[in-house]
């Protein structure tokens, strides 16, 4: 998976039931006080871990897999490139894991997913924001100096959280995060238009790269699957060869 991401030239499309990866410092500290709602859920014994601790994986540690970093690094390379070209990562996930929204395990997974993609200090979007901020600073200097300037700028951006100066909207050029929903009207009330909606649950584990490669398997993007010792997992990689066209253009 790392090699496919690293070598992607045009786009990466991912569908997965989960997306939990290393995210740096959480936006909500582990020792932060519970909200009234969280206290009530804990009181009802519906939750075993309401903080940023990892639920799936039987661990009290935060996730360590590097998939979010791999994606962020690939986008960063595009942002730093001498000749810019279109590159995009599209990730399709469920609205929330299967279960009730007031269930502690579901809440924890939603929280971890948000930390991974948006809120954590090294979330996917914050990695993109950091690269965009660094690129803004580099534009003031000759390109010959960039390789010397980048390490210090990246460190400054991270320690001073300079990436917060970049809007999340700026990431839309490089990343799209999607959920799926279905809509209908209740037929039992012909005289009234009563709209109902439900998520289309994403259960696939799929990655497509550049119309060249398809990776299909049974592993989720979380610690439980990626530790490699928690059951039988299978993955198939299919390649389409070199004579391809992307939107009518040979690639």
Domain that holds residue 175: 2-250
Which pLDDT does position 73 carry in this prediction?
98
Ordered per-residue pLDDT tens for the chain, 251 residues = 999 999 999 999 999 999 999 999 988 776 777 777 666 666 654 444 444 444 444 445 789 999 999 999 999 999 999 777 899 999 999 999 988 887 878 888 999 999 999 999 999 999 999 999 999 999 989 999 999 999 999 999 999 999 999 999 999 999 999 999 999 888 777 788 888 999 999 999 999 999 899 999 988 999 888 876 665 667 788 887 666 565 666 65
CA–CA dist 173, 186 (Å, integer): 38
**Predicted local confidence at residue 244, as pLDDT:** 57
| CA-only gyration radius of the chain, Å | 21
Query: Bridge partners of 116?
Result: none
Tell me, what's the pLDDT at 248? 62
The secondary structure of residue 116, as a DSSP letter, is: I
pLDDT at residue 60, rounded to an integer = 54
Report residue 37: phi and psi, to 5°: -65, -45
pLDDT in the model for residue 236: 86
If one counts the domains in the chain, the total is 1
Question: Could you give the count of Cα atoms lying within 13 Å of 16 in the half-sphere of its Cβ?
Answer: 22
Residue 53 has what pLDDT? Answer: 44
Q: How far apart, in whole angstroms, are the C-alpha atoms of residue 222 and residue 59? A: 12
Tell me what pLDDT residue 228 has: 66
Which one, of 119, 139, 129, lies nearest residue 175 by Cα?
129
Cα 34 to Cα 28, 107, 116, distances in angstroms: 10, 13, 21
């Amino acid at each position: 998976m790392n090699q496919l991401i690293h070598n992607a030239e045009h786009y990466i499309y991912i569908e997965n039931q989960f997306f939990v990866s290393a995210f740096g410092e959480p936006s909500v500290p582990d020792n932060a006080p519970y909200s009234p709602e969280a206290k009530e859920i804990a009181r009802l014994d519906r939750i075993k871990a309401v903080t940023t601790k990892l639920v799936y994986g039987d661990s009290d540690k935060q996730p360590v897999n590097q998939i979010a970093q791999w994606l962020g690094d690939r986008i960063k390379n595009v942002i730093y490139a001498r000749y810019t070209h279109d590159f995009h990562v599209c990730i399709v996930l469920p609205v929330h894991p299967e279960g009730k929204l007031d269930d502690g395990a579901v809440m924890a997974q939603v929280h971890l997913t948000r930390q991974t993609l948006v809120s954590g200090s090294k979330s996917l979007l914050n990695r993109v924001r950091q690269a965009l901020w660094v690129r803004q600073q580099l534009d003031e200097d000759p390109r010959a100096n960039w390789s010397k300037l980048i390490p210090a700028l990246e460190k400054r951006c991270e320690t001073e959280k300079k990436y917060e100066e970049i809007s999340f909207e700026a990431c839309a050029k490089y990343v799209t995060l999607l959920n799926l929903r279905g809509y209908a009207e209740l037929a039992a009330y012909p005289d009234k238009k009563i709209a109902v909606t439900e998520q289309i649950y994403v259960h696939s584990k799929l990655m497509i790269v550049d119309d060249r490669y398809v990776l299909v398997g049974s592993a989720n993007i979380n610690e439980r699957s990626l530790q490699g010792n928690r059951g039988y997992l299978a993955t198939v990689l299919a390649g389409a060869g070199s004579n391809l066209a992307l939107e009518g253009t040979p690639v």
